[in-house]
Structure 1
Amino acid sequence: MSSSGDKSEKPTPGKLRKAREKGDLPRSKDLTMAAGLLASFFTLAAFLPYYQQLIRESFAAVGEMAGRLDDPTALNQFMLLNVWVVLRFIATLIPIPLCCIVASLVPGGWIFTPTKLKPDFKKLSPISGVKRMFSASHYTEVGKMLLKCGIILTVLYMMVHDSMHALLHLQQLYLRQAIGQGFAIFRHVFSYFIAVIVIFALLDVPLSKFMFTKKMRMTKQEVKEEYKNNDGNPQIKGRIRQLQRQMAMGQIARTVPTADVIITNPTHYAVALKYDPQRAEAPYIVAKGIDDVALWIREVGANHNIEVVEFPPLARAVYYTTRVNQQIPTQLFRAIAHVLTYVMQLKSWREGNVEQKPRLNRQINIPQEVLKANGEQ
């Protein structure tokens, strides 16, 4: 058996919420890198003709400037032209950081945490640094980095080796042809590099979530302490009551339509009873409640034409002595049998089988021990 200090329990919603408030979320560096490289690749492919035009403009400006080195005006024009070329080039790169930002938020979502903006001097501590260096997570990261570097270098070596003949052939081409061919070779090598990074990202996203969940795991004692602290939290207690109420309302909406009769107080108590000889030897409760829940039971019953009988002492007696799905006590058999008989006679009268409307005998004796059980004398 694990000791109480083993972090064998899943993190509670409370711990995950606190971690999120501190900005501690699962993040994938490989996904961010893959998004940046993919954005770079598609940007390069989309703007390649435009980049070629910018390069030609720059070379044309250099050629024009070569014969006017002594002209200050020409020098200023040359500088402005190059600045304009650089600005136009930078403008095409805007999608790349945007894609990186979006990708970094995918695993854990977005949250603004002011505490992350404050300097953390604990991270500058040499002791903390040494502890991080010899931690299991550090060894895992180093192992992942070495493995990725080895795979990437192997793929790049293979791609460059296959493209070596084409690279050497560039010096025999005219400038425009060499630029176009060079971009084609670069795009070919870069596409394989991106493919490897994307595979890393697809593996790293679930791994990051797994490692984060593992880091957030709690001991049994921590779970007990958190639930103990939450028991005194009014907001949490209110939320629990609200959820319990919603669950009760949903269950009532499903079970009350199956009832044979609803006995009420008339407003404060309501119990829905059913008699099914194949399931139980005696009538049993399918739903019960007080105040708002009692009103809800009556509304559901009215919507499904369930007979409602006002019998305050009997309603309270059944409510306090019987649980949901439990048979009524033997002391109440006679009273409940009388009510069920009345309901059957009332149904027969409404169908026209009986001329005289039946009347409920409300003088039925409720045993004193049952009345005492719910505080009545």
Structure 2
Amino acid sequence: MAEDQDDSQKTEEPTEKRLREAEEKGDVPRARDIGLLAGMVAAWMIVLMAAPGAAGRLSELLLPLIENPDDFRLDGSAVDVVHGLHWLILGVGAALLPVLGILATGVVASALGQGRFLFAGERIRPKLSNLSPASGWKRIVSRQAFVEFLKSLVKLVIISAAAWHALAPYIAWTEDTVGMDVAGLPVLLRDVTLRLLLAVLLATVLMAAVDVLWNRLEWRKRLRMSFQEIKDEHKQIEGDPNVKAKLREIRRQRSKHRMMANVPRATVVITNPTHFAVALEYDRGRMAAPVCLAKGADLIALRIRALAQEHGVPIVENPPLARALHASAEVDATIPLQHYQAVAEVITYVLKLKGGLARRG
């Protein structure tokens, strides 16, 4: 009951950290039908492309041995025996090399098709629980085992139906093959085999797609987390000094970008003239006091000045006030009460200046 209750509480999608830890332990979604699909593709390619050439080369190599076995004696010296075996192994290997190459490519493709290669020591480490009869019986009668049984049953039905659909047209021809020329049998067998493999291959493509989707959904469902687990993980991450430093840097960068985006709507920028810059906004209709939109020293101050000039924001040089505001004002907050009078004079001057320019225009 406790385990069911715990599983019922795991309603949240797994975090990236949870997924990454599972992958590091070798717990990744693996679809068995991908290997079956790769094997079917390899078999179809072998029959279509590699088998005829390999059979021809093997015939050229072995036919003289079968027709004239007396020409190949093994009663000579050991050197002759080794030489003969060496010739035979190299010849057969060269003939079968394309077939082996296609099989190896299929194995690699089936592995790469499900993600990158992972070496997880956790998966190969011996566990006493794997030797427990109780644990083994629990795996046999588990929901996962029942689902795998149903999947295998459905796969058998699908592959059988595909094979029947491929071979049905040839069933009526079985009586005609009795009197058929022997030379035509290899071509007929090749056509039947290719048709059968293609039908099973198409069925396997469908099964592999469903299997991949099913395994990935089951994997993510199995890794789901409860609210408490997510909270604990966030606490753990927040406690990491490196993560804290990175988060502080991210917040600082975001704050800087937000400040710079605020400068164009400032009412005035008060400067030192070059060491400090403070951008203020004041709207008599909706603000009780001026608000600090951005502030900075040195390079940031120069950037604020440049943005102000670019957008036509008035710049007023007042070193004492600029230093005081930079030290005491907070971004996105009203300025301290002690600077109201000085700032009011600057804003009044700016508004009068704008009014005079407007009348002049």
**TM-score interval w.r.t. the shorter chain?**
0.7 to 0.9
Aligned to 1:240: 247
Shift of 1:283: 3.9
Aligned to 1:191: 198
Aligned with 1:153 (options 131, 147, 160): 160
Question: Deviations for 1:252-295, whole angstroms, at most 9, x for unmatched residues?
Answer: 3433344343446789975432345687565434335x67xx84
Matches for 1:21-100 after TM superposition, within 5 Å:
21-54=24-57, 56-57=59-60, 60-61=63-64, 63-65=66-68, 68=70, 71-72=73-74, 80-81=87-88, 84-100=91-107
Count of aligned residue pairs for this structure pair? 343
Aligned to 1:364: none
For the residues of structure 2 that align with 1:333 and 1:71, how far apart are their CA atoms? 113
Shift of 1:130: 1.5
Aligned to 1:130: 137
Aligned to 1:315: 326
Cα distance change on mapping 1:263 and 1:139 into 2, 3 Å: farther
Shift of 1:330: 6.9
Matches for 1:248-267 after TM superposition, within 5 Å:
248-263=255-270
Cα distance change on mapping 1:215 and 1:40 into 2, 3 Å: same
Higher-helix-fraction structure: 2
Aligned to 2:293: 286
* One-letter identity of the residue aligned with 1:161: A
For the residues of structure 2 that align with 1:275 and 1:89, how far apart are their CA atoms? 84
Aligned to 1:356: none
For the residues of structure 2 that align with 1:334 and 1:4, how far apart are their CA atoms? 62
Aligned to 1:20: 23
Cα distance change on mapping 1:59 and 1:272 into 2, 3 Å: same
For the residues of structure 1 that align with 2:278 and 2:299, how far apart are their CA atoms? 11
For the residues of structure 1 that align with 2:97 and 2:136, how far apart are their CA atoms? 38
Question: Deviations for 1:119-153, whole angstroms, at most 9, x for unmatched residues?
Answer: 34432322221222222222222211111112112
Aligned to 1:226: 233
For the residues of structure 2 that align with 1:287 and 1:167, how far apart are their CA atoms? 89
For the residues of structure 2 that align with 1:301 and 1:175, how far apart are their CA atoms? 94
For the residues of structure 2 that align with 1:252 and 1:27, how far apart are their CA atoms? 48
Question: Deviations for 1:309-339, whole angstroms, at most 9, x for unmatched residues?
Answer: 54222333332xxx52x55577655433323
The residue matched to 2:294 in structure 1 has which SS?
A: strand
Tell me, yes or no, if structure 1 residue 210 matches structure 2 residue 220. no
Farther-moved stretch of structure 1 (82-91 vs 15-24): 82-91
The residue matched to 1:287 in structure 2 has which SS?
A: strand
Unaligned runs of 5+ in 2: none
* One-letter identity of the residue aligned with 2:163: L
Identical columns (%): 28
* Partners of 1:260 and 1:273 within 8 A in 2: yes
* Partners of 1:274 and 1:285 within 8 A in 2: yes
* Partners of 2:277 and 2:305 within 8 A in 1: no
* Partners of 1:23 and 1:113 within 8 A in 2: yes
The residue matched to 2:279 in structure 1 has which SS?
A: strand
* Partners of 2:34 and 2:208 within 8 A in 1: yes
For the residues of structure 2 that align with 1:279 and 1:50, how far apart are their CA atoms? 87
For the residues of structure 1 that align with 2:134 and 2:272, how far apart are their CA atoms? 71
* One-letter identity of the residue aligned with 1:207: W
* Partners of 1:264 and 1:315 within 8 A in 2: no
For the residues of structure 2 that align with 1:271 and 1:3, how far apart are their CA atoms? 57
Shift of 1:170: 4.8
Cα distance change on mapping 1:175 and 1:135 into 2, 3 Å: same
Question: Deviations for 1:238-257, whole angstroms, at most 9, x for unmatched residues?
Answer: 22223223323333343334
For the residues of structure 1 that align with 2:275 and 2:28, how far apart are their CA atoms? 49
Aligned to 1:338: 345
For the residues of structure 1 that align with 2:56 and 2:161, how far apart are their CA atoms? 34
Farther-moved stretch of structure 1 (8-17 vs 264-273): 264-273
Question: Deviations for 1:343-375, whole angstroms, at most 9, x for unmatched residues?
Answer: 56788999xx8xxxxxxxxxxxxxxxxxxxxxx
Aligned with 1:302 (options 288, 299, 306): 306
The residue matched to 2:293 in structure 1 has which SS?
A: strand
Cα distance change on mapping 1:221 and 1:186 into 2, 3 Å: same
* Partners of 2:25 and 2:120 within 8 A in 1: yes
Shift of 1:197: 0.5
* Partners of 1:283 and 1:328 within 8 A in 2: yes
* Partners of 1:261 and 1:273 within 8 A in 2: yes
For the residues of structure 2 that align with 1:98 and 1:346, how far apart are their CA atoms? 78
Question: Deviations for 1:63-101, whole angstroms, at most 9, x for unmatched residues?
Answer: 4236x3884489985994476234421443323333333
Unaligned runs of 5+ in 1: 354-377
Shift of 1:218: 0.8
* Partners of 1:257 and 1:301 within 8 A in 2: no
Aligned to 1:200: 207
Farther-moved stretch of structure 1 (217-226 vs 248-257): 248-257
Aligned to 1:163: 170
